[in-house]
Amino acid sequence: MTSIVLIVDDDPAGRQTLESILDEQGYRLEMAENGLQAIEKVRQFLPDVILLDVMMPDMDGFEVCRRIRSDPTLAEIPIIMLTALDDRKSLLDGLEAGADDYITKPYDRYELRARLIGITRLNRYRKLLDDRTNLEDAHVQLLAAYDATIEGWSRAMDLRDKETEGHTQRVTKLSEKLARLVGVSADELLFIRRGALLHDIGKLGVPDSILLKTDALTDEEWAIMKKHSQYAYEMIYPIEYLRPALDIPYYHHEKWDGSGYPCGLKGEEIPLAARIFAIADVWDALTSDRPYRLAWDKETTLKHINEESGKHFDPHIVDLFNELMK
């Protein structure tokens, strides 16, 4: 069945841009030019997802979102908010109004398509859950959709920074291997996987001018960059099924000696998942090319990780990492 996408934008050029990006992607596209028309068409077509512009006259996107969420017959329809406002307050206002995702202009066509695929897939499985009488089987399918959506988000984040593309998938696999050596349970391993995939989701709140800067960051820019851990907390904590996976996105920049951020935790105060992930993250970062340096060889990187044992990293996990690398 073809998914219906409702595009809401008062600007004809904006609607045409989205139409060109989504043309031939297998969607049925419907258009609305203002907030009132959008609500009418939502009731008429019950779209699978709504692409909702924020800045519109008379009724902005936040109000449209709130009205849709207040109607029990429409409240479950996924909404992706679209705006030129690249700031943290607008992001949080959109999420508080009930938006499921948030994309800033100008659009990266691949990022937009990736996010739309993820959210429509999740919506399909949600409908499947409603229709099936076998609740246990439907629950399994829904969890699979959740994980597929998380992977879609992680790929979209990698696409935002071409220099780190593939980083998230690699550190997730390495973290899982190391976690098995540490002896975590199957349930904990699931949360480690989800947390690793979402470890940099807070960077959605960091402006491109800082995130993609190739020169050294100023003190002020670095202070903004370091807020991405707090942004991750604010984005993930309200989502109940992701809450157990929050340890990595929030704490993975903490250090064993207490010199990390955002909380300055020390030793075993740092959650185990974050201590495992920190080593995998640094390993992949140093063994990958960056605009400002070439990749380190594995021997040099392993030496650096061992030198940071007891400072940056948990010494016991460093020992297990050495075993893994053998």
- Measured CA to CA, the distance from residue 42 to residue 147 in angstroms comes to 27
At 325 the three-state DSSP class reads helix
Whole-number pLDDT of residue 119: 80
pTM above 0.85, yes or no: no
Whole-number pLDDT of residue 128: 62
- Measured CA to CA, the distance from residue 326 to residue 324 in angstroms comes to 5
User: Quick check: do 1-107 and 161-326 share a fold?
Assistant: no
The CATH fold assigned to 161-326 is Hypothetical protein af1432 (1.10.3210)
Whole-number pLDDT of residue 163: 55
Strand order in the sheet with 49-53: 28-32, 4-8, 49-53, 79-83, 101-104
Give the residue from 101, 96, 7, 3 showing the smallest Cα distance to 53.
7
Q: Name every residue whose Cβ is closer than 8 Å to that of residue 115 and which is 6 or more positions away in sequence.
A: 80, 101, 103, 152, 153, 156
Q: Residue ranges per domain, the chain? A: 1-107, 108-160, 161-326
Whole-number pLDDT of residue 129: 61
Cβ–Cβ under 8 Å, residues 13 and 60: no
Spell out the per-residue pLDDT of the chain, length 326, in tens.
688 999 999 999 999 999 999 988 889 999 999 999 999 999 999 998 999 998 898 899 999 999 999 998 898 888 988 887 666 777 787 788 888 888 888 888 888 888 888 887 776 666 666 656 565 665 666 667 777 777 777 776 766 665 556 788 899 999 999 999 999 998 899 999 999 999 988 888 888 888 878 788 899 999 999 999 999 999 889 888 889 999 999 999 999 999 999 999 999 999 999 999 999 999 999 998 776 678 899 999 999 999 999 999 999 999 999 999 98
Whole-number pLDDT of residue 140: 67
Q: Classify domain 1-107 at the CATH class level.
A: alpha beta
Query: What DSSP string describes 7-19?
Result: EE-S-HHHHHHHH
